[in-house]
Amino acid sequence: MTTIDEFLNDANERMHKSVESAHEHFHSVRTGRASAALLDRITVDYYGTPSPLKNVATISVPEPRMLTIQPFDGTLIKAIEKAIQESDLGLTPSNDGKMIRLPIPQLTEERRKELVKLVKHMAEEGKVAIRNVRRDVLKHLEEMSKNGDVGDDEERAAEGKVQKLTDDHVAKIDDLVKRKEAEIMEV
């Protein structure tokens, strides 16, 4: 019986990680306000090594609609500027030679809808990851049943628990999507 419990605990952990991952991705989608988390997905070529922007510069929010980026190494300013321009953020950096200023423009209705679509796509990826965990666990349960390690009743009960875990985690992602959508659509 412990093996079924181990599978269920493992499934719960992996599903929770999928929810957390989706939540992290949502932070990098911009809303109308400036947030340092917007730049979490940006990587900069640092002497031939792709490095996260937050590891090579200080990012601050001096105003509600402005981000400033102060590189630790002044030679990186052009690389940082290029990485931001090539990202899907739709932001235009300006630099004064020492610091990059990143004004956050007011979102248009059309851009808000695009961002909501992007969030829903990210959420769907998280749900697919959760369903993949469910599929793996169900496959293992089926193998255990075939090998005679567990009975049919135990297998069916465990399948029900796995489905409940799946539904709970998918609902968490749906809740996160609703909150992020409200945040994006807020004018």
Q: What is the CATH number of the domain that holds 73?
A: 3.30.1360.40
pLDDT, residue 184, reads 82
DSSP state of 75: G
Q: How many domains does the chain have?
A: 2
Question: Which residues are within 8 A (CB) of 68 and not within 5 positions of it... i.e. 6 or more apart?
Answer: 59, 60, 61, 62, 99, 100, 101, 102
70 and 126 within one domain: no
pLDDT, residue 30, reads 65
Q: Residues 82-135: pLDDT tens digits? A: 888 888 777 888 888 889 998 887 778 888 888 889 899 999 999 999 999 999
Final residue belonging to a domain, choices 103, 118, 146: 103
168 and 131 within one domain: yes
- What span, in angstroms and rounded, lies between the C-alpha atoms of 166 and 125? 14
Find the domain containing 180 and state its range.
2-27+108-185
Please provide the size of the chain in residues.
Answer: 187
Query: Which whole-number Å values give the CA distances from 91 to 49, 107, 141, 154, in the listed order?
Result: 24, 11, 49, 55
pLDDT, residue 126, reads 93
CA 13 from centre of chain: 17
- Mean pLDDT lowest for which of 3-17, 29-43, 90-104? 29-43
Q: State the CATH number of the domain containing residue 160.
A: 1.10.132.20
Rounded percentage of the chain residues whose pLDDT exceeds 70: 97
Final residue belonging to a domain, choices 79, 103, 127: 103
pLDDT, residue 65, reads 83
66 and 51 within one domain: yes
Final residue belonging to a domain, choices 65, 86, 103: 103
pLDDT, residue 187, reads 64
pTM, 2 dp: 0.70
160 and 132 within one domain: yes
Strands 57-63 and 49-52: unpaired
181 and 113 within one domain: yes
Question: Which residues are within 8 A (CB) of 64 and not within 5 positions of it... i.e. 6 or more apart?
Answer: 33, 34
Of 17-21, 105-109, 144-148, where does the model show the most confidence? 17-21
15 and 41 within one domain: no
Average pLDDT on 43-55 reads 88
- What span, in angstroms and rounded, lies between the C-alpha atoms of 108 and 138? 45
174 and 83 within one domain: no
160 and 99 within one domain: no
146 and 171 within one domain: yes
Q: Which two tokens stand for residue 127?
A: 């749900």
